[in-house]
Amino acid sequence: MKGSASKRWLGVFPPAWRKRYGDELAALVEDLEHDDDLRALDRLDILRAGLQTRARGRRRRATVLATAGAATLASTLGALTLAGVLSSTPSPSSRCTVEINAKTGKVLWERGDCGALPQRVSGPSTLLRPRSSQGSPSHTIYLLPVVHAAHGSVHVVPGSQTKS
């Protein structure tokens, strides 16, 4: 393997690796040639090492990307949680119409900008209790201004509830 040939075999390594170690490895190949100790299997050895180096680089990049993605997700979730914790006083952020079971607070159906409603609506029991005898006493339709708290429950804002 002559000098130009050895450089061609070095092309299997990633560019950053070649920049750092390429000259040294080429010099080693030339030393082996000079000693008449360069063997046919050495080409395969260089090829295998180059492919392994590339594979390691890909694994490392994948690990970095996965770590960065997890960190971004964690920080986003953390920010959302923090925002939920900080908004201890609920304020109406959306309006939706839901039918709830007045006794259990279970959401039976929803319409409008309800976002991700939980299965049950929590709030002052006086607001969730039906005020008239219309309809079923346990299934009453309300127009509820709600705010979605961080822990997933829905707070009914007192005083702004209207029955439809």
Partner 1 sequence: MNPPSAGPESTAHETLSGALLLVLTSLAAGPKHGHSLMKDISAFAHVRLGPGTLYGAITRLEERGLIAALPADDRRRPYEITGQGEAVLEASVAELGRVVTAGKSRLRSLRGARGASPQPALHGGGA
List 120's β-bridge partners, or say none: 106
- Name 17's Cβ contacts closer than 8 Å, sequence gap at least 6: 53, 57
| Interface with partner 1, residue 23, by CB under 8 A | yes
Q: Where are the beta strands (DSSP E) in 19-153?
A: 94-101, 107-112, 139-148
Residue whose pair of structure tokens reads 């997700």 in the numeric block: 73
List 109's β-bridge partners, or say none: 99
Q: Least distance (Å) from partner 1 to the CB of residue 37?
A: 8
Handedness of CA 110, 112, 118, 122 (dihedral sign): negative
| Interface with partner 1, residue 28, by CB under 8 A | yes
| Interface with partner 1, residue 21, by CB under 8 A | yes
Pick the binder of partner 1 from 4, 15, 24, 89 (CB under 8 A). 24
The stretch among 38-46, 97-105, 107-115, 119-127 that binds partner 1 (CB under 8 A) is 38-46
Between 47 and 66, name the residue whose CB sits nearer to partner 1.
47
Handedness of CA 145, 149, 153, 155 (dihedral sign): negative
List 141's β-bridge partners, or say none: 99
Pick the binder of partner 1 from 42, 106, 127, 149 (CB under 8 A). 42
| Interface with partner 1, residue 45, by CB under 8 A | yes
| Interface with partner 1, residue 49, by CB under 8 A | yes
Between 45 and 113, name the residue whose CB sits nearer to partner 1.
45
Residues near partner 1 (CB under 8 A): 17, 21, 23-29, 31-32, 41-42, 45-50, 52-53
